[in-house]
Amino acid sequence: MKRVILIAIIVFVAALIAGGSLIPLLGGARGLDIDGVATPHGAATPGAGRGWAHYGGDSGGARFSALHDITPANVRSLEIAWTYETGDAQRPPAVQEQAAAEATPILVDGRLVFCTPFNEVIALHPASGKELWRHDAKIALDQRPANQFVCRGVAFWRDAGAEDACAARLFMGTNDGRLVSLDAATGVPCGDFGRNGEVALDPETDLVWPGEFQITSPPVVVGDTVIVGSSSSDNVRVAAPSGVVRAYDARTGAPKWNFDPAPGLRQANVWAPIAVDEKRGLVFLPTSSASPDFFGGLRPGANDDADSIVALKAESGERVWRFQTVHHDIWDYDLPAQPGLYTVWRDGRPHDVVAQVTKTGLVFVLDRDTGTPFLPVEERAVPQGAVDGEWLSPTQPFPVATPPIVPDRLEPKDAFGLTFLDRRFCAREISRARSDGLFTPPSTTGTLIYPFNGGGANWGGAAYDETRNLLIVNMSNMAHRVTLIPEEEVAAVRELHHDAEVSPQKGAPYGVRRDLLVSPLMLPCTPPPWGVIAAVDLDTGAIVWRKRLGTTKDIAGGLALPFGTPNLGGPIATGGGLVFIGAAMDDYLRAFDIETGEELWKGRLPAGGQATPMTYEWDGRQYVVIYAGGHGRMSTRLGDEIVAFALPQKSRR
């Protein structure tokens, strides 16, 4: 198959070299308008420091550092300063293929700390990458986790009233549903927290298999309260494991409060990272859809707290406000990313906002105190006509100022193909499915979900440069075909299509089959670019620039065509005027000019970089670090290295 794909690509490239235009060869595909230049903004005081103490840079997820030694003028001189191997590359291939290296390290108390997909916490020396300590949470490797083996990060907390061991602590959630507390200096469990340094979360139901319930995103800490969400397998059953968000005493592990995003509905959880406003004493939850994903007739109504940004008082769990981005979700369009707590400058005045990027390709910007739109949002009529027993919302919320970052409508004329035959195949498949635009209801004949359930945006989230009012976000551009299956036919369909994704949605009248819309050459039927990175002005909502992200180098036999690729992992922005991002399916860390979106540099990685990078200064030198461990589900190159880039000593200003 790889040989066939390579031959087709060579034919395609030959046609380009011969002088053919790109658009006719794509069959008139509409694709994206990838252009635009930045407009300057008045400077404001940067809000980030010189380190990276939280998963998202700061507690509000800005993913911005004021460090400015690396600039557009010298970024091409970046070189690898050090690497560290976790040892996971030595695990059995069947285990590695179930893992995703999605962690972002933090720099705390002079240590660079991160977690592996298998819940080992490791501390490194920031200048050399030398291992200082490691702790293994000893998860079972035969549990078949619902969302792969994943650990995106750890949280740090300092107990102001303590001076002995565990005065500074690290918290991590595990793939088997435990919250672990470690001494930040040694990695030894804090024995006064829960039982022997850990608390087990209660899924409130017997699990169908051990990996059905897990924790994938880092906890957060506010005052002396540690808060954690959870994740569970999609579409297994209506009565899925509990999605309750839980808060504990950071010293003892004693429960403090619970918040249920969908009481009585189950599985509307918070699997993505949580944001914290320490000054206001608030936490901001990105909630998921209620179970099951693709049929909601058993949960009529908007399901108010699901698919919402929910602001809670951190001390009590009391809800302050909520804003729902999808009413009665039956598309798996849950909120996948950390809400961004930013300060937007308008007419010389600061405005505190919450910005949420979504799987639908839309960006919502809200007032942080009230949850009302800072940039206007309107309810628009959406496609109707669902299967018997379903409940539909007649309208859905859409931002007015910011258009979708990626397309949300697919027609046969848009079909992509390297050759006439596969383009014709894709056009036929699009014409056979229901495709009336965003929020077309799932059907028994097949409905196109576009953008697909992976986004748009995903857990990598966005970065924000307050000095320019620029939100930087990366998104994917692919489609799913979702087909509802009467419950009595699910077993037969699973047997007949045993290699396909067929889920029972047990307890609902329909199961579901979900397929990526791809050609016989296994390339997306959607028009490229299949991955983009964009800048949005949060004062006006305008898209300032939008560029392709990634090439086909590592998925097409080394031929690097600029089609962009689906991506996982997020961007960071720096005071030097740069955006750093991995995420794409080729093995590179890239740097873009934040003003124009021009790609200025890319550094080769030893494996897939499906993680969000970070940056810090140590001994006067700026480093940019990314976890290059690959992603089993995306089939990128697997590995186990932390890679640190820096300027040569002579190139530093």
Q: Residue 492: in which H helix or E strand, if any?
A: helix 490-496
Amino acid at 202: D
Contact 546, 33 (CB under 8 A): yes
- At 288, give phi and psi (nearest 5°): -100, 180
Is the CATH code 2.140.10.10 the one for domain 2-651?
yes
- How far, in Å, CA of 61 to CA of 78, rounded? 26
CA 264/CA 301 separation, integer angstroms: 13
Helix residue ranges, H only, 433-571: 490-496
Instruction: Tell me how far CA of residue 650 lies from CA of 127, 576, 647, in angstroms.
Output: 17, 18, 8
* Identity of residue 390: E
Sheet holding 120-124, edge to edge: 106-108, 111-115, 120-124, 131-136
User: What band does 162 get if pLDDT is binned at 50, 70 and 90?
Assistant: confident
Nearest to 613 by CA among 395, 605, 225: 605
Q: Which is catalytic among the residues 58, 277, 305, 332?
A: 332
* Average pLDDT of the segment spanning 169-177: 98
Cis peptide before 292 (omega within 30 of 0): yes
Q: What is the CA angle 278-283-287, rounded to 5?
A: 160
List pLDDT tens digits, range 440-456: 999 999 999 999 999 99
pLDDT, tens digit, 9 for 90 and up, residues 182-198: 999 999 999 999 999 99
Write down the pLDDT at residue 391: 97
90-116 pLDDT tens trace: 999 999 999 999 999 999 999 999 999
- The string of pLDDT tens digits covering residues 26-70 is 233 334 444 444 333 433 333 333 789 999 999 999 999 999 999
Report the DSSP pairing between strands 111-115 and 106-108: antiparallel
User: Distances in Å between the alpha carbon of 46 and those of 345, 466, 468, 574?
Assistant: 12, 6, 10, 10
Q: Output DSSP code: residue 650.
A: G
What confidence tens digit (pLDDT) does each residue in 519-578 have? 998 899 999 999 999 999 999 999 999 999 999 998 877 888 899 999 999 999 999 999
Confidence class of residue 316 from pLDDT cuts 50, 70 and 90? very high
Band the pLDDT of 266: cuts 50, 70, 90: low
Mean pLDDT lowest among 15-19, 411-415, 577-581: 15-19
Output the furthest CA–CA distance in the chain (Å, rounded).
72
408 among known catalytic residues: no
All structural domains of the chain with their residue ranges: 2-651
Alpha-carbon Rg for the chain, nearest whole angstrom, is: 23
22 pLDDT band (50/70/90 cuts)? very low
pLDDT of residue 555: 83
Q: Residue 573: CA atoms inside 13 Å, Cβ hemisphere, count?
A: 30
Euclidean distance between CA atoms 525 and 523, whole angstroms? 6
Neighbours of 329 (CB within 10 A): 28
Of how many residues is the chain composed? Answer: 653
Cα 105 from Cα 114, distance rounded (Å): 4
Tokens of 59: 């507690």
Beta-sheet pairing, 340-346 with 349-357: antiparallel
Q: Using CA atoms, how far apart are residues 448 and 456, in angstroms rounded to an integer?
A: 15
Amino acid identity, residue 99?
A: A
Three-state SS across 586-637?
CCEEEEEECCCCCEEEEEECCCCCCCCCEEEEECCEEEEEEEECCECCCCCC
Residue 125 is predicted with a pLDDT of 97
Are residues 416 and 524 in contact, defined by beta-carbon separation less than 8 angstroms? Answer: yes
What percent of the chain is helix, strand and coil (3-state, nearest 5)?
Answer: 10, 35, 55
| Dist. CA 377–CA 368, nearest whole Å | 15
DSSP codes of every residue in 241-279? PP--EEEEETTT--EEEEE-SSTTT------SPPEEETT
* CA dihedral (287, 290, 292, 293) positive or negative: negative
The mean predicted confidence, pLDDT, of the chain is 91
The rounded Cα 28 to chain-centroid distance in angstroms is 31
Task: For the full predicted model, state whether its pTM sits above 0.85.
Answer: yes
Which residues are bridge partners to 579 per DSSP? 573, 592
Q: What are phi and psi of 500, to 5 degrees?
A: -90, 165
Mean pLDDT calculated for residue range 371-393: 98
Spatial distance between the Cα atoms of 299 and 322, rounded to a whole number of angstroms: 19
Residue 486 confidence (pLDDT): 97
Tokens describing residue 550: 């990634």
DSSP letters along 275-320, please?
EEETTTTEEEEE--PPSSTT--TTS-S--TTTTEEEEEETTT--EE
Q: Residue 224: exposed, middle, or buried by beta-carbon count in 10 A (0-12, 13-18, 19+)?
A: middle
pLDDT at position 652: 52
DSSP class of residue 529?
Answer: P
- pLDDT of 651: 52
* % the chain with pLDDT above 70: 92
Query: Tens digits of per-residue pLDDT, 473-524?
Result: 999 999 999 999 999 999 999 999 888 899 999 999 999 999 999 999 889 9
Q: What is the DSSP string of 21-38?
A: -HHHHTTT----------
Cα separation, 65 vs 72, in Å, equals 15
For residue 106, what are the contacts with CB-CB under 8 A and spacing of at least 6? Answer: 52, 53, 54, 55, 112, 113, 114, 153, 154, 156, 614
Predicted local distance difference test score (pLDDT) of residue 265? 65
